[in-house]
Structure 1
Amino acid sequence: MATVTASTPALGSVRLNHLAALDVKGADAEKFLQGQTSAQVSLADGHFAPLTCFCTPKGRMLANAQLMRLGEEHYRLLLSNTLLDSLASHLKKFAAFYRAELTTQRDLVFIGASDEAPALAEQLGLELPDRVGTHTNNDQVCVIRYPGETPRWLLCFDNDSKVDVASLQDDQAGRNAWQLEDIRSGLAWLTDTQQDHFLPQMLNWEALGGISFKKGCYTGQEVVARAHFRGQVKKRLMRISIETTTLPEVGASVVNGDDKAVGEVVVSAPDHQGGVELLAVMSTKVAEETMPLYLDGAPATLLPLPYAIERVDPEQLAVSLNG
């Protein structure tokens, strides 16, 4: 467990080294992705950037990502850098049957920004998107509006851009601030530690519009759909605060008063009061019953999420964002 040495600062602009990009290009790029991902790929229209995920045949998540169309026959997936190589290797087994090429983009710079985002976008000659889940892009940069109480954007660009990358904040405190906004938004990005472990619904992915139940088949689709329509999801992503000065490990157990495990940590970050906030996949009984919760002996408290645990169709979301 890592010790929290200081309160999390307000968002400025910071390098986000935990992210990576996988590009998919070619005449069959859309058709290829349509058979592998939970998103309705046609919704990625150069404006709307749908959330998506890739699953095993048993419906377990190999990666979750955000999907953008950057140009004709050119798509980009943003995901955890710990999953970049494994997802690329997995998808290349299927891409061999399509006119589609996968490229891991290792030289891109990822910047999370709030107040400083307009100035960065101006340097790059791009307008900021004003609605969560939408993006703008040119041949230098793509910018996505992220959720959160604080307006914030993710900028992704080449090292040889007009931005002085060396002058941007590059420290863990800044990344913690960004991570805390993700947590408060109820948004968890899968890492290699828990790959092939969760159904998408366990990360509330359908409540975030990350699963299309109206598209055709994709790998794992049958299991994901059956879990949804038969109400078989007994674990859900929940937000928790802990009275502690140390960050828990990914996968650490949240227990009840009888010391029985009722959940596991997915992501955590220090809050502004010297404690920790986290997202954990928890038994749904935790929300249905009042029970004490602990993590490594520290009291834990359930906090509200900013969305309801109900299905959000990305097709309807796209219409609302483009309206």
Structure 2
Amino acid sequence: MQDWITELGARTLADDHITFDTQDAARQALDATVVTPLLQFGVLDVVGADAEKFLQGQASAQLNLVDGDFAPLTVFCTPKGRMLANAQLLRVAEGHYRLILHRDLVDSLADHLKKFAVFYKVQLTARDDLALIGLIGQEASALAEVRLDIAPPAIWHQAGDAETQLLAHPGPRPRLLAILPTERATEVWPTLAEQATPAGNAVWCLHDIQAGLAWLTSHHRDALLPQMINWEALGGISFKKGCYTGQEVVARAHFRGQVKRRLMRGQLDGSVLPEIGSPVLDTNDKAVGEVITTELDAYDQAEVLVVLSTKEDIGPLSVAGQKLKLLQLPYPIERLDPESLAAS
């Protein structure tokens, strides 16, 4: 899946990180428009006559809203309400749905869903033949319109056709995500790189952190309720739809106020990136949370998303020997119905 971009000058740092010889990419993204290969994401297609009915019983999204325009966040859970994967869901064509999720979880989610798919006319396919490209910056929309010939959509909506889709994500600067065949990506990338600075995908991950948007990895699979990553505050849960796997537990946690941990954004006072899952410690060295994701910002300080206890005052905090300063999320922690997003 990453061969197309390494052939164009990128260097692989890890399974889900890639870089270029761009100096201070995060700082450049403050002012310039950057283009980045989104190697951290994978694609899972659900295709067939029963695709809508099948996903309606498994995903937290209301499928009749997924109409080729609105492309909501969603989540897949165990019967106990624990997340197996979170994703963005879009409709490519009639009976053809596409999930964008962390590449780490594509195979495990497919294996989980196949246990139920045998009762429906659907096929599940991991799309290793597709590439995902991100654009960040004020010129992202104009660049996408010229080079991809697609007018950019609103946030959490989609545009394009059956071959190429364009999604808009939230963040401190405009962000667009393009999904296209690797052959076309190889052709399009040089034209994008003429007007945008190539950068490693860490800069996209940093903007996810600043947007308060966490993508589940295998480290936290089957460990957290959706509300623990603020998924209902991002419009990722429909409380107006019928049953889906884990729905009863997720709904009970919401209506009874039983969410004891929440996703919070923070900054460390150093430049050492902690491991995913590293504990957040209070002054008594008691673990009160853990790291979900982390990246260096434009000033070489580690920014993090952490899941913390919801106790009102837990005092000074640290991670891996570095002081943790909590930062404000760009959204309120309250229910946001996807039905309202679809209409916007």
- Identify unmatched segments of 5+ residues in structure 1: none
Shift of 1:149: 1.8
Q: Describe the shift of the 1:227–1:216 C-alpha distance in structure 2 as closer, same or farther (beyond 3 A).
A: same
2:188 is the counterpart of 1:188: no
Deviations 1:29-48 (A, max 9, x none): 00000000011011111111
Q: 1:308 maps to what in 2?
A: 332
Shift of 1:8: 2.3
Amino acid at match of 1:142: Q
2:107 is the counterpart of 1:81: no
Range with greater deviation from structure 2 (112-121 or 150-159): 112-121
2:46 is the counterpart of 1:24: yes
Structure 1: how far apart are the matches of 2:299 and 2:282? 24
Q: Contact (CA 8 Å) 1:9, 1:173: kept in 2 or not?
A: no
User: Which TM-score applies when normalising by structure 2?
Assistant: 0.87
Structure 2: how far apart are the matches of 1:283 and 1:102? 37
Matches within 5 A, 1:241-260: 241-260=267-286
Deviations 1:125-180 (A, max 9, x none): 22111x211110213210100101201100010012275256477x9963121111
2:318 is the counterpart of 1:318: no
Q: Contact (CA 8 Å) 2:228, 2:307: kept in 1 or not?
A: yes
Q: Describe the shift of the 1:265–1:290 C-alpha distance in structure 2 as closer, same or farther (beyond 3 A).
A: closer
Deviations 1:223-271 (A, max 9, x none): 1111111111000000010011211110001111111111100011101
Shift of 1:7: 6.8
Amino acid at match of 2:27: P
Q: 1:221 maps to what in 2?
A: 247
Amino acid at match of 2:227: Q
Q: 2:93 maps to what in 1?
A: 71
Q: Contact (CA 8 Å) 1:237, 1:281: kept in 2 or not?
A: yes
Range with greater deviation from structure 2 (110-119 or 288-297): 110-119
Structure 2: how far apart are the matches of 1:252 and 1:10? 29
Q: 1:142 maps to what in 2?
A: 165
Shift of 1:121: 4.0
Structure 1: how far apart are the matches of 2:257 and 2:267? 28
Shift of 1:97: 0.5
The partner residue of 2:37 within 15, 33, 58 is 15
Q: 1:102 maps to what in 2?
A: 124
Superposed CA RMSD in Å reads 1.9
Q: 1:279 maps to what in 2?
A: 305
Amino acid at match of 1:225: A
2:326 is the counterpart of 1:289: no
Q: 2:156 maps to what in 1?
A: 133
2:63 is the counterpart of 1:41: yes
Secondary structure class of the residue paired with 2:252 = helix
2:196 is the counterpart of 1:174: no
Identity %: 52
Secondary structure class of the residue paired with 1:83 = helix
Q: 1:240 maps to what in 2?
A: 266
Regions of 4+ moved over 6 Å = none
Secondary structure class of the residue paired with 2:216 = coil
Amino acid at match of 1:149: P
Q: Describe the shift of the 1:162–1:278 C-alpha distance in structure 2 as closer, same or farther (beyond 3 A).
A: closer
Q: Contact (CA 8 Å) 1:7, 1:270: kept in 2 or not?
A: no
Secondary structure class of the residue paired with 1:9 = helix
Q: Contact (CA 8 Å) 1:7, 1:273: kept in 2 or not?
A: no
Amino acid at match of 1:128: P
Q: Contact (CA 8 Å) 1:13, 1:117: kept in 2 or not?
A: no
Structure 1: how far apart are the matches of 2:85 and 2:110? 10
Secondary structure class of the residue paired with 1:302 = strand
Q: 1:199 maps to what in 2?
A: 225
Q: 2:80 maps to what in 1?
A: 58
Q: 2:4 maps to what in 1?
A: none
Q: Contact (CA 8 Å) 1:7, 1:271: kept in 2 or not?
A: no
Secondary structure class of the residue paired with 2:104 = coil
Q: Contact (CA 8 Å) 1:39, 1:52: kept in 2 or not?
A: yes
Deviations 1:179-217 (A, max 9, x none): 111111100000111100100000000000101111111
Structure 2: how far apart are the matches of 1:173 and 1:136? 24
